[in-house]
């Protein structure tokens, strides 16, 4: 079983990517890295066996905008022709929650399942507001608070004054941006028309869920279901203490007690934490 690790990164790499590669390095694991186009310096990653592909075709991805979909699609296209069994989308701030042996056995045990989180409590109107209005400045990096104010102003202007709405042709779903999916699911995404999500906001949390749900019956996709959105996406994320919580080295044991369970990756972590976890995972090989 072959795995493609798809990584979205920005800022200066602090060594966490090399630390990740060191744990999973092998013929069964390849790494595809999109480093934000706003960064001049690309990470330098080495491996003994894994393929390392740092994309030369890059975009500047701004938080909350559909430019994040552009970045993800570049990763999807770059990796798909190899024909991996699973594709795992992570951030450069994420960290492994399984040693290599557990990682391999986990996906053999759950072969064919899609690990995608769904927020079943997301209000329909909120989802529609993200997609049906034309949101400007998609590739411009601006402060998150200002971006949210711009989103509110855009929705008010187009709903109350201009009365403009884009056509929304699919039932909308929302969940975690980060996932682990099969080759069949990735093919479905790449063959889909994404125009509906252009100039939309916060749709990096929606387009994968929306597309896969719309095709789930025809393709007989099997979504892993546990009743917990984070377990369903195989991601260890704490939304109660942050947006999300940034784990520090002081919380190492709290994180490590969840290692080799139902979580493949965790987020977000400070470098010192990530480095310590990967050292422990290497020792457990």
State pLDDT tens for residues 6-43: 999 988 677 889 999 999 999 999 999 999 998 988 99
Q: How far apart are CA 153 and CA 209, in angstroms?
A: 27
The residue-averaged pLDDT of 239-245 equals 91
The residue-averaged pLDDT of 128-146 equals 79
Half-sphere exposure of 194 (CA within 13 A, CB side): 21
pLDDT at 167: 81
Residue 151 has pLDDT above 80, yes or no: no
Task: Report how far apart, in Å, the C-alpha atoms of 182 and of each of 85, 116, 224 are.
Answer: 6, 11, 12
pLDDT at 145: 82
pLDDT at 247: 95
Place of tokens 């187009």: 158
pLDDT at 96: 96
pLDDT at 164: 67
**Beta-strand relationship, 235-237 and 29-35:** unpaired
Q: How far apart are CA 75 and CA 53, in angstroms?
A: 10
Q: How far apart are CA 85 and CA 108, in angstroms?
A: 10
Task: Report how far apart, in Å, the C-alpha atoms of 77 and of each of 28, 70, 74, 151, 222 are.
Answer: 19, 11, 5, 30, 23
Half-sphere exposure of 248 (CA within 13 A, CB side): 3
The residue-averaged pLDDT of 85-92 equals 97
Residue 195 has pLDDT above 80, yes or no: yes
Q: How far apart are CA 231 and CA 119, in angstroms?
A: 12
The conformational region for residue 199 under phi > 0 = left, psi -120 to 50 = alpha, else beta, is left
Q: Which two tokens stand for residue 38?
A: 């706003």
Residue 135 has pLDDT above 80, yes or no: no
Listed in sequence order, the residues at least 6 apart from 244 whose beta carbon sits closer than 8 Å to its beta carbon are: 237, 238, 267, 268
DSSP 162: S
Mean pLDDT of the chain, nearest integer:
91
pLDDT at 51: 98
The residue-averaged pLDDT of 191-197 equals 93
pLDDT at 35: 96
* pLDDT confidence tier of residue 285, bands split at 50, 70 and 90: low
pLDDT at 138: 65
Contact call for residues 155 and 129 (beta carbons, < 8 A): yes
The residue-averaged pLDDT of 102-112 equals 97
Contact call for residues 139 and 62 (beta carbons, < 8 A): yes
Q: 152: helix, coil or strand?
A: helix
pLDDT at 61: 87
DSSP 161: I
Residue 159 has pLDDT above 70, yes or no: yes
pLDDT at 154: 80
The residue-averaged pLDDT of 185-196 equals 96
The residue-averaged pLDDT of 263-272 equals 94
In the chain, pLDDT over 70 holds for what percent of residues? 96
């Amino acid at each position: 079983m072959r795995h493609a690790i798809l990584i979205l990164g920005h800022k200066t790499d602090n060594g966490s990517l090399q630390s990740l590669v060191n744990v999973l390095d092998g013929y069964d694991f390849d790494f595809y890295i999109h480093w934000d186009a706003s960064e001049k310096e690309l990470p330098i990653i080495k491996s003994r066996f894994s393929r390392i592909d740092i994309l030369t075709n890059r975009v500047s991805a701004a938080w909350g905008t559909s430019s994040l979909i552009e970045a993800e699609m570049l990763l999807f296209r770059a990796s798909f022709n190899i024909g991996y069994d699973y594709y795992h989308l992570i951030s450069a701030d994420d960290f492994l929650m399984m040693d290599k042996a557990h990682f391999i056995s986990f996906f053999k045990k759950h072969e064919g399942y899609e690990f995608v989180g769904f927020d079943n409590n997301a209000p329909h109107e909120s989802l529609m507001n993200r997609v049906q209005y034309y949101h400007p400045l998609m590739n411009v990096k601006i402060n998150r608070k200002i971006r949210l104010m711009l989103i509110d102003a855009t929705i008010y202007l187009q709903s109350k004054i201009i009365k403009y709405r884009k056509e929304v042709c699919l039932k909308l779903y929302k969940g975690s941006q980060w996932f682990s999916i099969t080759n069949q699911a990735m093919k479905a995404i790449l063959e889909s028309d994404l125009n509906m999500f252009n100039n939309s906001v916060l749709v990096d949390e929606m387009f994968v869920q929306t597309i896969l749900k719309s095709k789930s019956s025809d393709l007989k996709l099997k979504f892993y279901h546990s009743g917990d959105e984070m377990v369903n996406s195989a991601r260890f994320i704490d939304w109660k203490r942050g947006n999300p919580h940034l784990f520090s080295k002081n919380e190492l044991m709290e994180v490590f007690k969840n290692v080799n369970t139902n979580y493949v990756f965790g987020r977000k972590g400070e470098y010192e934490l990530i480095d310590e976890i990967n050292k422990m995972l290497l020792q457990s090989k």
